[in-house]
Amino acid sequence: MLFVSLLEAETNYIDQQHRKLSDIVREWGGAVDDAMRPYLVPKESSSETKSDKIDSFFQSKKYTDTTKKAYIRLRFTNSIASKEPQQSNFQIRAQIPLQSLNEAFKLFIENTQENYVENLSQNYTQQSALAVGVNLFVSLEHAIESKYSLGIRSTELFGRAIYSKDFYSGSWKIEPQQLFEYTSNNIFLEETNIYCDNKLGDDELFRVGLRRATQQKRSGMEYSMHLAYYHFLSKETGYSFGEYFRGNTEYKDGDTRYQGIYEYATVFNWRERIYRKWIVYEIQPILSFHKMYDYKANTILKVSLEFYFGGAY
């Protein structure tokens, strides 16, 4: 039944208030699921692999791009910067199973933007619009995992495919991810991410991330690198620290075009569950040096409050 996976958490995770809200969601979802059942063709179910708890807790881009988990996440963020006006935004991201069809199919709703460092990219402003559609997860040959998405964002239809595969070298786990997207407005974009992870312990992770991306009708190739350390202090608390570098082969600033790195940023992130296990706050101080400000320091403070419905992180 629709939304059932949202309630398959440990009994010590869902409190009474959370259970009441989840029951309402389940009843509504069950009605929708029953209405859709005659039009859906059941198929064999597929198993879901367990996600890394550090990526899951921090809700990293690597995790949210490929997770099969069902969840609903509401996030409120306020940002104050020395060289930018104050900003507030609301984000919703949800992935709901269509179990009448196949647990590999999931509805998705999202209006999330990339993180702060990504927001400064000239290539991703369109991603802030609300998108609704269906995800399909398929395991391919040679241990390649894939996710196919079909949806509508604002007034355009889009199709997206993400492929990923794990490799191991000594203590390092290397996971390349390749994304392709095409829209009804005849825009094609593609993005490559390579994550090199070294688990320093059960609760510590060091990551080297490499990224490149191109988009039709936009000049140049976007590229970036980040070095990040994640420390999971307990089931309730964790922090991360990272250095980010972003560049473009043809970065455009007005009528002038540049090559090379256009931003350096140092990002610290403190994340903790409060009051209830499904309520999380996040504090993110950032020190950015961007070309648009002549590489002068831009100090930023982001504070977020997040409500997460689903299994434990």
For residues 137 and 227, give the distance between their C-alpha atoms in angstroms, rounded to a whole number: 29
Length of the chain: 313
- Please tell me the distance from the alpha carbon of residue 267 to that of residue 265, in angstroms, as a whole number: 6
Q: Which residues pair with 193 in a beta bridge?
A: 177, 211
Q: pTM for this structure?
A: 0.76
Helix (H, G, I), strand (E, B) or coil at 128: helix
The strand ranges marked E within the chain are: 71-81, 87-97, 105-110, 131-139, 145-153, 156-164, 167-169, 172-183, 188-201, 204-215, 222-232, 237-253, 256-274, 276-290, 297-310
**Which pLDDT score, from 0 to 100, does residue 313 have?**
46
> Is 166 exposed, middle or buried (CB count within 10 Å of its CB: 0-12, 13-18, 19+)?
middle
| pLDDT the model gives residue 129 | 79
Residue in the structure block whose two tokens are 């980040």 = 226
- Name all domains of the chain by residue range, CATH numbers in brackets: 4-307 (2.40.160.40)
Which two tokens mark 251?
């970065």
pLDDT for 1 = 43
* pLDDT of res. 177: 96
Inter-residue contact 132 to 152 (CB < 8 Å): yes
Quick one: tokens of 179? 């994304």
Query: Which amino acid, 29?
Result: G
* Contact status, residue 9 vs residue 312, Cβ threshold 8 Å: yes
Question: How are beta strands 297-310 and 256-274 bridged, if at all?
Answer: unpaired
Distance separating alpha carbons of residues 26 and 213, to the nearest angstrom: 39
Q: Which two tokens stand for residue 199?
A: 């688990």
Nearest CA among 253, 269, 262, 258 for reference residue 304: 269
| pLDDT for the residue numbered 98 | 81
* Cα–Cα dist 161/190, whole Å: 10
> In this structure, what token pair is assigned to residue 279?
């309520």
What pLDDT, in 10s, does the model give residues 128-165? 678 999 999 999 988 899 999 999 988 899 999 999 99
DSSP structure class, residue 69: -
For 27, residues 6+ apart whose C-beta sits below 8 A from its C-beta are: none
Kindly give the parts of the chain with pLDDT less than 50. Answer: 1-13, 38-51, 114-127, 312-313
Give the number of other Cβ atoms within 10 Å of residue 96's Cβ.
25
